[in-house]
Structure formats: structure tokens, C-alpha cells
Amino acid sequence: MDVISIAKATLKKHEGFSGVPYKCTANKTTIGYGRNLEAKPLTENEAMYLLENDIVECVQDLRTFSYWPKLSDTQQAGLVNLRFNLGPAGYRTFKMMGKALEIGDYTEAAYQILNSKYHDQVGKRAEEVAKMVTTL
């Protein structure tokens, strides 16, 4: 074994894994295998890796809806944005939007986004997502 493999194995053993932030014995916010986020915050590349994984998860979920394959790339990206922001359960509360998407009524789907608590909470983001949903 090389030094990296040996170090990785022993650090995993000694640090243990946590997928959620916690305070270590030095009272520092830590995640993963002992990553001190206060001393070493995530890099943009690390954050991009996480974002890409989250997008893949959103797309996998959205593919379960029968309207998904009928949508343009821009429409799909808008729904990924909505699903990312709301999570799977929150996305599924947009039942009228889903019905509109089923019949290809993208104006109504956008209306459902704009006339929602989601719009009240995120404003311009919802307006951009609604516009994306109407873009063929």
C-alpha cells in the first residue's frame, strides 16, 4: 500500500464519518471524515461536485413523471431548479402544475408556480423558473 491509501484507511478509522456537520472535540464545525470547515471551508470545486450530484438526483426523480420526456431542455432545467429548491416532497405539492404539464399547458404550469407560497418566499427565482417552464 502507498502512503495515501494507508493514511486514508487510518483517518477513516480514527475520525469516523458524519454526513452532517457536528462540533468536534475542539468545538469546530466538522463534517465528513474530520473536515474542519472553519479552518478549511469547501472549495468551489468541492461544492460543484456536490451540486452536480444533487442535480443528477433531481433528474432521476423527475424522470419518474410522464411529462418529463416531452419537455425542452430549458423546461427540464427549470423543473430541476424547482425540485432542487423544494426537495422531492415539496415538488410534489405542485399538483396543479403537474396536471398542466401533463396536457402541455405550460402557461398554466407557470401560473401555478407564480401563484404559490414558493413565489412568495423566493420571488425572482420563481419568476425565472416559471419563464423557463414556458420556454420550448
| DSSP-derived 3-state class of residue 94 | coil
127: burial class by Cβ within 10 Å (0-12, 13-18, 19+)? middle
pLDDT digits (tens, 9 = 90+) for 109-130: 999 999 999 999 999 999 999 9
The torsion angle over the Cα atoms of residues 89, 90, 93 and 96, rounded to 10 degrees, is -120
Domain-wise residue ranges, the chain: 3-36, 44-133
pLDDT digits (tens, 9 = 90+) for 18-54: 999 999 999 999 999 999 999 999 999 999 999 999 9
What percentage of the chain has pLDDT greater than the value 90? 99
pTM of this structure: 0.90
pLDDT on residue 1: 81
pLDDT digits (tens, 9 = 90+) for 43-97: 999 999 999 999 999 999 999 999 999 999 999 999 999 999 999 999 999 999 9
The angle formed by the CA atoms of residues 81, 86 and 90, to the nearest 5 degrees, is: 130
Residue type, 26: A
Question: 44-133: which CATH number, 3.90.230.10, 3.20.20.70, 1.10.530.40, 1.10.10.10?
Answer: 1.10.530.40
